[in-house]
């Protein structure tokens, strides 16, 4: 009887027992088990280093998953997401007793959150299903613990693989609900433009989260289910759930008003995350936003490079040029202007703004302040005087949480009041108030917003090297990329939902340099970058099998590039 990969691996581990840790590198290679193949792709240098990279590969036919669970892009992504979740659950069932030093005995796969993301943790390729995970090979001190490693590699990992990569391990109803819910969410999102909507919030949605550090839904016994005002209720059709009703937010300018703690920001947060699909039971399965929606906030201290902020900022002291404005330490108001213009530069149809995270002098300048400080002494044109022009000239809508300025009633198409987490359409009342109490403030904008800047990044300003290492790209957490010697701060980019996205963005920045020549606009560079990923997948970003990457949006990639402090651009003056 021929020797199996399990037998070969077990014998090799017995021979390695007690040897120095570097001898583990003899394990690198493939080991065919009964129904699948284990690959040890990279062995860590010592038990305290980053865990070793492994993968399990099985033919798609052998998995037994029905074709209707992965037919179509959204179903495939959802199936792979569920497999990763099942893998995580299977890892939890492995006893966690100590296996020795450092990371000894650790088995893990990139853990999904509440969103369903396209990741490299589980991939479908060339008729195979492959799970990529990490394992801390056991050691005592820096000596190989061969018997513990044999238990881990020959017993525990096979148990995890058998419990996650084969259809027989799944609850059929749960599996189909997962893939069909994702497909329905994608279908709703695709309908929004034709319906004239920028967002949809389904009746019955649970928007509140358990806490600021727990993104799971609030317990239904405490949460108030969302219910659309009758005047804003729309019906959308889905391929699997039939007709779904909810509040449709139309193109244009929408205000969300209400008292403190009544759910204004919670509603906006749900819409902000609506660019992603969510797992069944999240409560936001059918809370959907345009896929290019961008959350905008003030961001004191960030660097901006040759931004044309002249629609919002002119007549600076000392004749500073605001059509190519650069600074290493921008103010809150100017950063908010730059964030809007950068989002428009790479493409968006929806801005999401909460006054709590905004610079007051950017949002509004009331009549009394206008009387005290003449426009000649105030270089900022407030957002209230530009928001309608942005929509009229560029088709970019805005959803704005506002509680402190009724002057915005004059520029709003729709006003929704949140009262005890229940939305009420108060558009008519807001218009009556605006008519009765006419604002005395003066319009401070110009007759047109004007074209949007186009800048070309210079490839020589992207240096990922550090010391002797030609490329050093890593993440410290979800909000920080170490790019060579630079630390890119993404803490204000709230639509990043997973560290695997941040890691992928770091490598995508380097990958995108091949499309830069100092004359190609950033928007086109990102088009080419995203097209390359669509063709080749996340594996195009790094050589080898890596399970720690997740798909990201073009908006977050652009945000990272714009926050690289060494970035230099050429202003093309070819604005659209």
Would you say residue 576 has pLDDT above 60? no
Cα(553)–Cα(346) distance, integer angstroms: 11
What integer pLDDT is reported at residue 469 of this predicted model? 87
Would you say residue 276 has pLDDT above 80? yes
Tell me the C-alpha to C-alpha distance, in Å, between residue 123 and each of 56, 77, 104, 508: 11, 9, 26, 19
CATH code that applies to domain 173-301+331-450: 3.40.50
pLDDT in tens, 525-547: 999 999 999 999 999 999 999 99
pLDDT in tens, 112-143: 999 999 999 999 988 999 999 999 999 999 99
Residue predicted with more confidence, 276 or 321:
276
Residue predicted with more confidence, 459 or 369:
459
Would you say residue 378 has pLDDT above 90? no
Q: pLDDT tier at 404 (50, 70, 90 boundaries)?
A: confident
What integer pLDDT is reported at residue 295 of this predicted model? 98
* Number of other CB atoms surrounding residue 275 within 10 Å: 23
Tell me the C-alpha to C-alpha distance, in Å, between residue 203 and each of 200, 229, 235: 10, 10, 10
Would you say residue 1 has pLDDT above 60? no
- Please give the mean pLDDT across all residues of the chain: 95
Would you say residue 575 has pLDDT above 50? no
Q: For the chain, what are the domain ranges?
A: 5-170, 173-301+331-450, 455-571
Residue predicted with more confidence, 373 or 383:
383
Would you say residue 476 has pLDDT above 90? no
Q: What is the mean pLDDT of the segment spanning 303-317?
A: 92
Residue bearing tokens 């110009």 = 446
Q: pLDDT tier at 318 (50, 70, 90 boundaries)?
A: low
Would you say residue 353 has pLDDT above 90? yes
pLDDT in tens, 149-205: 999 999 999 999 999 999 999 999 999 999 999 999 999 999 999 999 999 999 999
pLDDT in tens, 421-432: 999 999 999 999
Beta-ladder partners of 125: 128
- What does 331-398 look like in DSSP terms, one character per residue? -HHHHHHHHHHHHHHH--SEEEEEGGGS-HHHH---HHHHHHS-GGG--B--GGGTHHHHHHHH--EE
pLDDT in tens, 294-308: 999 999 999 999 999
What integer pLDDT is reported at residue 70 of this predicted model? 95
pLDDT in tens, 138-152: 999 999 999 999 999
- What does 192-237 look like in DSSP terms, one character per residue? HHHHTEEEEEETT----EEETTEEEEPPTTTS------GGGEEEEE
559 and 490 Cβ atoms separated by less than 8 Å = yes
**What percent of the chain clears pLDDT 90, i.e. is strictly above it?**
89
* Number of other CB atoms surrounding residue 63 within 10 Å: 22
Q: pLDDT tier at 61 (50, 70, 90 boundaries)?
A: very high
Would you say residue 376 has pLDDT above 70? yes
53 and 41 Cβ atoms separated by less than 8 Å = yes
Would you say residue 355 has pLDDT above 90? yes
Q: Which residues contact 365 (CB under 8 A, 6 or more apart)?
A: 378, 380, 382, 441, 444
């Amino acid at each position: 009887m021929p020797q199996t990969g399990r037998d070969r691996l077990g014998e090799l581990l017995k021979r390695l027992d007690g040897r120095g840790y570097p001898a583990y590198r003899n394990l690198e290679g493939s080991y065919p088990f009964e129904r699948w193949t284990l690959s040890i792709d990279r062995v860590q240098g010592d038990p305290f280093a980053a865990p070793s990279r492994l993968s399990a590969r099985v033919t798609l036919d052998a998995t037994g998953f029905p074709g209707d669970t992965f037919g179509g892009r959204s179903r495939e992504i959802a199936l792979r997401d569920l497999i990763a979740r099942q893998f995580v659950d299977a890892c939890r069932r492995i006893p966690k007793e100590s296996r020795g030093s450092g990371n000894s005995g650790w088995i893990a796969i990139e853990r999904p959150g509440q969103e369903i993301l396209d990741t490299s943790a589980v991939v479908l390729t060339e008729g195979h299903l492959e799970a990529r995970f990490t394992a801390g090979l056991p050691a005592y001190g820096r000596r190989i613990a061969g018997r513990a490693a044999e238990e881990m590699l020959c017993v525990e990992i096979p148990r995890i693989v058998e419990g996650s990569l084969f259809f027989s391990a799944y609850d059929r109803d749960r599996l189909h609900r997962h893939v069909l819910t994702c497909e329905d969410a994608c279908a709703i999102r695709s309908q929004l433009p034709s319906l004239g909507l920028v967002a949809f919030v389904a009746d019955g949605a649970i928007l509140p989260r358990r806490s600021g550090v727990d993104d799971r839904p609030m317990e239904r016994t405490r949460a108030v289910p969302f219910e659309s005002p009758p005047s804003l209720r729309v019906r959308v059709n889905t391929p699997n759930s039939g007709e779904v009703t909810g509040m449709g937010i139309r193109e244009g300018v929408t205000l969300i008003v209400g008292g403190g703690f009544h759910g204004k920001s919670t509603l906006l947060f749900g819409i902000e995350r609506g660019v992603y699909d969510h797992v069944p039971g999240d409560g936001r399965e059918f809370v959907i936003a345009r896929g290019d929606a961008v959350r905008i906030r003030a961001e004191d201290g960030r660097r901006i490079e040759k931004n044309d902020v002249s629609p919002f900022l002119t007549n600076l002291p000392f004749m500073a040029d605001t059509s190519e404005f650069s600074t290493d330490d921008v103010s809150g108001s100017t950063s908010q202007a730059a964030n809007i213009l950068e989002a428009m530069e790479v493409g968006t149809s929806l801005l999401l703004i909460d006054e709590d995270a905004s610079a007051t002098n950017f949002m509004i300048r009331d009549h009394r302040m206008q009387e005290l400080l003449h426009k000649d002494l105030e270089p900022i044109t407030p957002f209230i005087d530009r928001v309608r022009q942005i929509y009229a000239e560029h088709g970019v809508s805005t959803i704005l949480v506002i509680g402190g300025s009724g002057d915005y009633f004059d520029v709003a198409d729709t006003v929704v009041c949140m009262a005890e987490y229940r939305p009420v359409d108060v558009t008519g009342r807001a218009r009556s108030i605006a008519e009765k109490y006419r604002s005395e403030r003066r319009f401070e904008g110009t007759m047109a917003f004007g074209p949007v800047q186009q800048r070309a990044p210079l490839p020589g300003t992207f240096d990922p090297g550090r010391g002797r290492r030609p490329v050093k790209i890593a993440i410290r957490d979800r909000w920080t990329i170490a790019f060579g010697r630079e630390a890119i701060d993404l803490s204000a980019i709230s639509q990043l939902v997973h560290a695997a996205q941040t890691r992928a963005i770091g490598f995508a920045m380097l990958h995108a340099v091949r499309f830069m020549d100092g004359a190609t606009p950033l928007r086109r560079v990102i088009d080419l970058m995203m097209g390359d990923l669509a063709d080749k997948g996340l594996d195009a970003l790094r050589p080898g099998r890596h399970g720690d990457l997740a798909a990201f949006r073009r908006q977050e990639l652009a945000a990272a590039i714009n926050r690289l402090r060494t970035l230099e651009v050429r202003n093309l003056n070819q604005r659209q």
